[in-house]
Structure 1
Amino acid sequence: MQIQDLPYPDPGTPDARSGPRFLLWLFRNQLGGQLKSLAWGLLHFLAVSGLPFCVGFAVQAVVDRSGARLAAAGGLIALCGVCLALGDTMLHRTAVTNWITAAARVQQLLARRTAHLGSALTRRVAAGEVVAVSTGDVEKIGWFVEAWSRFAAAALTVVIVCVGLLVYEPALGVVVAVGVPVLALAVLPLLPRATRRADVQREKAGRATELASDTVAGLRVLRGIGGEELFLDRYRRASQEVRRAAVHNARMWSLIAALQVLLPGLLLIGVVWRGVQLAREGRITVGELVSVYSTVMILTYPLRHFEEIAMAYSFSRPSAKRAARVLSLERATDSAGSLEAALPKGDLYDPATGLLAPAGRLTAVVCGDPDAAGVLAERLGGHPCGDGGERPSVLLGGVPLDELPLESARTAVLVQDKDPVLLSGSLRDLLDVPASGNVPAGEALAAAQCGDVLEALAQGSLDAGAPMDARVTERGRSLSGGQRQRLALARSLVTDPEVLVLDEPTSAVDAHTEARIADGVRSLRAGRTTVVFTSSPLLLDRADRVVLVHDGEVAAVGLHRDLVRGEPRYRAVVTRETDEEAAGDLLRGGLLKHVDALEEIEETA
C-alpha cells in the first residue's frame, strides 16, 4: 500500500481486545511495508557500521605504506557512502509511508465505528476523548508501528557488528559484546515508571481536550450567561496540570536519554583503555584499534533506536488502549440483528411507554421533561439510550427495530435531535445524503422555510455561482440557531424516511415561521409517518394525533383542542401554567366529575 492509494478499500476488522493486541494487528496488516523498511534499515545501519572498518583498514594501509590497500580502502569507503545514502533515503521513505498508512488505517476504523454507533457513541465515550483519539493518538500509534522496523534493523545490526568484532579482534570484541547488551538493557528498569508518567500526562491531556471541546461547542451559551471566565479558569487549571505532568514525564525521559549517552561513553573509555594496553603489548595493530574504537562510537547511533522504541511504545500503548476501547464499542442490538427482509412498514409502537404513531399520520408527542423527550425520541430510532436493552424494543409494523440490521433500521427510522450538527461545505454537499429521491432539495428547503437562509449563505459566499454552491461554515456557526434548525430540518426532509422523528424542530424560530413550517412539513410528509416532539401549539394544532407522555407512560391521546380543554396536565405543559393553576384545574376537574356522578345516581334513583 502506497500513500497515493489511501484510503483503504477495506481497513479490516481490528483486534480491539486490548491496546497491545491492536498494535500487533496493525503490524501484521502492514507486514510488507515493515519488511521493506527492515531491509533498507539494515542496508543503512550496516553501511554506517562498516565505515569504521574501512577507516581502520585505511589507517593500517598508511602505517604499512601500502598504496594498493589504501586505494581499496578508499573504494570501500565510497561504496559504504553510496549504500548509506541509498539506505537512508529509502528507509526514510518507507518509514514515513508506514507511519502515514498506519495512522490513516486507524482513522478509517474510527470513522467507520463512529458512523456505525451514531449518537450512541458520545453517550458512552466523551466527545473530547473521541477527538483526542482521532487526532493525537493516531499519530502516536503510527509512530510505534513505523519505529518497530527501524528498531529491528538496528538490533540486527548491533548483533552482526558484535559478532564481527569477535571475529575481527577477539580481545576487544569480548568487551564490546558484553558491554553493548548492558547498554541496551540498562534503561529497562526505568521504563515502567516512564510509562506510568506518560499515561498520566495523556489522561490529563485528554481531559483538557474534552473540556476545550465542550467549551467551544457551548461558547454561544456561555456568552449568554456570562460563564466565559469560569470555563476559562477551568481550562487554565487543566492546562497547567497537563504542563506539570509533561515536565514530570520529560524528567524521566531526560534521565533515560542521559544514560544512553553516559553508558556508551563509559564503554568507549573502557575499549580505548583496553585497546591501548593491547597495542603496547603488540597484540593488535593501530588500524585494528582505530576500527574497534570507531565501531563502538558508531554503535551509539543504532543503540539510540532502543530508546526510541521504548518511548514510542510508552506513548502509543495508552493511545492504542483508548483507540481499542472506541473500536470495541457495539450497538446493544448488533448481536441480535438478523432480519434481512425488505424494510417493514406500518405503525410505530413503543411497548415501554405505550406510544403509538399510526402509519402515514402526523403524530405530536408532548413531554413535560425535555430530557425524557430526547430519550424517547432516541428509543423510537432503535437506540437503547442507556437502558442496557432491558426494555422491549420499539416495533415498526410489528417488527422489533432491534432485530433489523443497523443500515435497515436507520433507513426505516430517522431521528433528528434538538441540536443537529451541520458539517462544513457547500449547501449542495449538506443535502447530499442517502435519500429515497422522492423529495427534491428545493421542495425540502421550501417546506422548512429556508428562503432567508439561502440569502444569508449567498451573501457570505460571493464566489458561489448558485445558491446550492453557497458555503456552510463549520457547524453552521455563521447562522442563527433558527437558521441552523431549518437547514437541518430540510436535510431530514430530503432523506424521506419511512418514519421521521423530530425533536423540537422549531424551538428557535418565530411563531409566523413556525406556522408555515408546520404546514410545509404536513404537506410534504403526507402519507408518511412523522413523529414530532414539541410543546408548540402551532405544531400541535396541525397534528393528526397528539399524545401526552407523563412519567414515562402515555397519559392521554386526542386532538390538541380537545386535550387543552379536558386534560389539565397537557394544558400545564402547552400553556405554561404554574403548579398552582394546574392543581386548581385538577381539583375543578375532579369536582365536576363528582357532580356528574351524583347527578347520574339521582337520575337512576
Structure 2
Amino acid sequence: MGSGEQSGRDVLTRSVRGQARRVGLGAALGCVHQLGEAVVPVLIGVVIDQAVAGQDAGRLLLWLAVLAVVYVTLSWSFRLGARAGERGAEEAAHTLRLAIVRRVLDARGGAEDGRLPGELANVATEDAKRVGAVNMALMSGTWAVAGVTASAVALLLTSVPLGLIVLLGTPVLLWLGHLLSKPLERRSEAEQDRAAHASGVAADLVAGLRVLKGLGAQRAAVERYRGTSRLSLAATLRAARAESWQTGLVLALTGGFIALIALVGGRLALDGSLSLGQLVSAVGLALFLLGPLETFAWVNAELAQGRASAARIAQVLAAEPAVVGGDDPVPQPVRGALRLRGVRLGDGTDGIDLDVAAGRLTGIAVTDPACAEALLRCLGRERDPESGTVELDGVPLNRFDPAQLRAAVLVAAHDAVLFDGSLADNVTPRAEPEDDGTPDGSAAEPSAGDGTGDADADVLTERAMCAAHADEVARSLPHGTATGVGEGGRSLSGGQRQRVLLARALRAGPPVLVVHDPTTAVDALTEARIAEGLREIRRGRTTLVVTNSPALLAVADRVVLLDGGRVGAEGTHAELVRADATYRTAVLA
C-alpha cells in the first residue's frame, strides 16, 4: 500500500539489505581476489631480487609455484564472488519488480494515476534493473577499496613515500568522482522519465492502432510519437554526455595519479632507495591500481543512476490509494440489492439517487457518456464518491475489502482486454494458486448463486458462450476455442472481441454483474440474440446493463435514464419511449 513517507533512499536501503548475505559473500571473495592481484607484482619483484638477480633456479621454481597458487586462488575467488554479486543484483531487481506489480495490482489502486501503462512497465523493468545493479556496484566498490588498501600497504612496505601518495590521494579521487556524478544523477532521472513516457505513448498508440486507422489519424499519431521520441532522445544524449564527461574526467585524474606514483618510484630507484625488484613491484602495483580506480568511476555512475531510478520506484510504491478503508468481508450469500444516495463523483454524476432491486435486470441509459464512466468507477470501487453513499445489501461499499467486493460486484468495462492465449483460456477462469482473500471462496466462485453449483465447468462455459454468441466466434476460428486470440485479442474483429469479453463476464457468474456497452460492434440481429441470452443466463441475479442500445434496454425489467448526472426518468423501455422525449433522443436517435 502506498505511503507518502517512502523515499528513493528507503528503496535503495531495502534492496541492499535484502541481498546483504550474497553481497557480503561476493565482497569477501572479491577482497581475496584483489589481495591476490596486489600480491602478484610483489611476488614478481621478489622473484627478480632473489631468483633472477641471484641466478638461483631452485628459488625461481619455488616462487613460480607460489605465483601459480596465487593465480588459481584469485581466479576462483573472482568467479565465485562475481556469481554471488550478479545473483544478488538480479534477485534484488526481481524483488522490486514483484513489489511494483503488487502495488500496481493492489485492489485499492492509485499507482496508475497520471501514468501510462508503458511508463509503469519501464519502471518495473529498467528502473528495477538499475536499482538491483546497485548491489553489484557496492560489492565492486568493496573490491576496489580492498585492492587500493592492499596496494597501499604493499607500497608502504616497499617505500613510505609511495604508500603515502596512495593513501592520501585515493580519498581525494573518490571525492572528486562523487562531485562529478551529481550532474549524471540529475540527467539520468530525466532520461528515465522521458524514456518511460515514450514507452507509454508507444504502447498507447499500438493498442489503439485499429481506431487510428479507422479515423485516418495515423499521421497525427506518428507525429505525436516522433515528438515524444525526440524529447526522449535529447534526454538520453544529455545523460550520455554527462556520463562520458564524468568517466573521462575521472580516468584523466586516475591516469595523472598513476603517473605521479610511477614518477616518484623512478626517482627513488635512481637514487638507490629502491632495488630493481622493488621498482618493478612499485610500477606493477601502480598499474594494478588502474583497475580499482576505474571501478570507483563505474561505481559512482551506477550509484547515480540507481539513486535516480530508486526515486522513480518510490513514487510508484508510495502512490496514495484511489480508495481507502474497507477490510470487512462481503457477507454471504449476496442478495445483490444496490442503493445509491446523493452520489457525486465530480465528472458526470450530480447527486444520483437510485435503487436497484436484487435479482432483476436493470438498464441504465445516459445522455452523457462521462456519467456512465463515473457510475462504473463508483460501482467497481475504483473511486469513492466525493459525497453520497453506495450500498450493497444495505452495507456501504467502502466497508468492504475492494478485492472481495469486485468478486461480488463484477464491472465488465466495454474496453476490457483479452489476454494472449486461446479463446477458451480467456473465457474460463483459472484456479488461483493462492488464497484470494475470500473467507470461503463463495464470493469468487463462478457458479455462486446460479443454482448450478454441481454443474460441470464445461457446461457453465458452454452456457456463457452461447448466451454471448461467442460460440459462433469459436466455430469461425480454425481450431475452435483452442485458437489463440493474440495479444489483446487483436486477431479477432471488434464484434468478436466484444462477444468473448461478454462470455468471460457471464462465465464468472458473480452475484452482481455490471456490463457497459457490450454490443456496440455487433450487428442488430446478433445484438437482439445476445440480449435474450443475457436475460436468460442472468435470470434471478442482479444485472445492470449500462447502454443506450434499444435491444438490450428492451429486455430489461426496468430502465433508468441518467440525464445531467441525475436520474431523469424510470420505467420500462416501452414506457419511456412513449412518454419521455429525452429518452427517445438518447436511445433511438
TM-score by length of 2: 0.89
Task: State the partner residue of 2:120.
Answer: 130
Mapped pair 1:112 → 2:102 = yes
Report if aligned partners of 1:15, 1:25 keep a CA contact under 8 Å in 2: no
Task: State the partner residue of 2:13.
Answer: 24
**Aligned ranges for residues 134-213 of structure 1 at < 5 Å?**
134-213=124-203
Report if aligned partners of 1:541, 1:559 keep a CA contact under 8 Å in 2: yes
Task: State the partner residue of 1:270.
Answer: 260
Deviation at 1:379? 0.5
Opposite residue 378 of structure 2, the aligned amino acid is: R
Q: Give CA-to-partner distance per residue, 1:365-388, whole Å, 9 cap, x none.
A: 01111122011112111221xx6x
Match of 1:508 among 501, 504, 521: 521
Mapped pair 1:425 → 2:421 = yes
Q: Give CA-to-partner distance per residue, 1:312-343, whole Å, 9 cap, x none.
A: 22222232222222222353434343457546
Task: State the partner residue of 2:220.
Answer: 230
Aligned mates of 2:498, 2:109 — CA distance in 1: 18
Mapped pair 1:252 → 2:246 = no
Mapped pair 1:539 → 2:535 = no
- Cα–Cα, structure 1 residues 124 and 241, in superposed 2: closer, same or farther, change >3 Å? closer
Mapped pair 1:305 → 2:295 = yes
Report if aligned partners of 2:359, 2:540 keep a CA contact under 8 Å in 1: yes
Opposite residue 363 of structure 1, the aligned amino acid is: T
Identity of matched residues, % = 34
Task: State the partner residue of 2:27.
Answer: 38
Deviation at 1:166? 2.1
Deviation at 1:280? 2.3
Report if aligned partners of 1:15, 1:22 keep a CA contact under 8 Å in 2: no
* SS at structure 2 position matched to 1:402: helix
Opposite residue 573 of structure 2, the aligned amino acid is: H
Opposite residue 377 of structure 1, the aligned amino acid is: L
* SS at structure 2 position matched to 1:333: coil
Q: Give CA-to-partner distance per residue, 1:72-121, whole Å, 9 cap, x none.
A: 32123212211222122212322221222122212222222222247755
Q: Give CA-to-partner distance per residue, 1:218-241, whole Å, 9 cap, x none.
A: 111111122111221222222222
Superposition RMSD in Å: 2.2
**Aligned ranges for residues 426-445 of structure 1 at < 5 Å?**
426-430=422-426, 431-433=428-430, 435-437=445-447, 438=453, 440-445=460-465
Aligned mates of 2:219, 2:187 — CA distance in 1: 31
Deviation at 1:128? 2.7
Aligned mates of 2:56, 2:360 — CA distance in 1: 102
Report if aligned partners of 1:343, 1:412 keep a CA contact under 8 Å in 2: no
**Aligned ranges for residues 441-460 of structure 1 at < 5 Å?**
441-457=461-477, 459=478
- Cα–Cα, structure 1 residues 365 and 227, in superposed 2: closer, same or farther, change >3 Å? same
* SS at structure 2 position matched to 1:395: strand
For structure 1, the residue ranges without an aligned partner over 5 or more in a row are 1-11, 462-466, 577-605
* SS at structure 1 position matched to 2:339: strand
* SS at structure 2 position matched to 1:186: helix
Match of 1:51 among 40, 47, 51: 40
Aligned mates of 1:549, 1:120 — CA distance in 2: 28
Deviation at 1:135? 2.6
- Cα–Cα, structure 1 residues 393 and 305, in superposed 2: closer, same or farther, change >3 Å? farther
Deviation at 1:420? 0.9
Task: State the partner residue of 1:366.
Answer: 365
Report if aligned partners of 2:336, 2:541 keep a CA contact under 8 Å in 1: no
Mapped pair 1:390 → 2:390 = no
* SS at structure 1 position matched to 2:568: strand
Opposite residue 405 of structure 2, the aligned amino acid is: A
Opposite residue 268 of structure 1, the aligned amino acid is: I
Aligned mates of 2:323, 2:299 — CA distance in 1: 40
Opposite residue 404 of structure 2, the aligned amino acid is: S
Deviation at 1:350? 1.6
Aligned mates of 1:121, 1:453 — CA distance in 2: 36
Task: State the partner residue of 2:409.
Answer: 413
**Aligned ranges for residues 431-580 of structure 1 at < 5 Å?**
431-433=428-430, 435-437=445-447, 438=453, 440-457=460-477, 459=478, 461=479, 467-576=480-589
Aligned mates of 2:110, 2:568 — CA distance in 1: 28
Opposite residue 220 of structure 1, the aligned amino acid is: R
Task: State the partner residue of 1:337.
Answer: 327
* SS at structure 2 position matched to 1:102: helix
Deviation at 1:522? 0.9
Q: Give CA-to-partner distance per residue, 1:410-446, whole Å, 9 cap, x none.
A: 1111111120110101233222246424471111111
Report if aligned partners of 1:268, 1:293 keep a CA contact under 8 Å in 2: no
Task: State the partner residue of 2:440.
Answer: none
Opposite residue 517 of structure 1, the aligned amino acid is: I
Q: Give CA-to-partner distance per residue, 1:475-513, whole Å, 9 cap, x none.
A: 000101111111111111111111111011111111111
Deviation at 1:21? 0.8
Task: State the partner residue of 2:378.
Answer: 379
Aligned mates of 1:267, 1:346 — CA distance in 2: 77
Deviation at 1:65? 2.9
Aligned mates of 1:244, 1:119 — CA distance in 2: 33
- Cα–Cα, structure 1 residues 14 and 398, in superposed 2: closer, same or farther, change >3 Å? closer
Report if aligned partners of 1:354, 1:553 keep a CA contact under 8 Å in 2: yes
Mapped pair 1:72 → 2:62 = yes
Mapped pair 1:401 → 2:397 = yes
- Cα–Cα, structure 1 residues 403 and 476, in superposed 2: closer, same or farther, change >3 Å? same
Q: RCO higher in 1 or 2 (8 Å CA, sep ≥ 6)?
A: 2
- Cα–Cα, structure 1 residues 71 and 340, in superposed 2: closer, same or farther, change >3 Å? farther
Task: State the partner residue of 1:5.
Answer: none
Opposite residue 288 of structure 2, the aligned amino acid is: I
Opposite residue 549 of structure 2, the aligned amino acid is: S
Report if aligned partners of 1:482, 1:508 keep a CA contact under 8 Å in 2: yes
Task: State the partner residue of 1:295.
Answer: 285
TM-score by length of 1: 0.87
Q: Give CA-to-partner distance per residue, 1:334-372, whole Å, 9 cap, x none.
A: 434345754643411121111221111101101111122
Aligned mates of 2:330, 2:53 — CA distance in 1: 85
Q: Give CA-to-partner distance per residue, 1:247-294, whole Å, 9 cap, x none.
A: 222222112222232222222222222112222222221111211211
Task: State the partner residue of 1:356.
Answer: 355
Aligned mates of 1:57, 1:246 — CA distance in 2: 50
Report if aligned partners of 1:106, 1:138 keep a CA contact under 8 Å in 2: yes
- Cα–Cα, structure 1 residues 118 and 444, in superposed 2: closer, same or farther, change >3 Å? farther
**Aligned ranges for residues 313-324 of structure 1 at < 5 Å?**
313-324=303-314
- Cα–Cα, structure 1 residues 529 and 135, in superposed 2: closer, same or farther, change >3 Å? same
- Cα–Cα, structure 1 residues 308 and 330, in superposed 2: closer, same or farther, change >3 Å? same
Aligned mates of 1:140, 1:34 — CA distance in 2: 16
Aligned mates of 2:368, 2:25 — CA distance in 1: 61
- Cα–Cα, structure 1 residues 272 and 323, in superposed 2: closer, same or farther, change >3 Å? closer
Query: Larger deviation: 248-257 or 545-554?
Result: 248-257
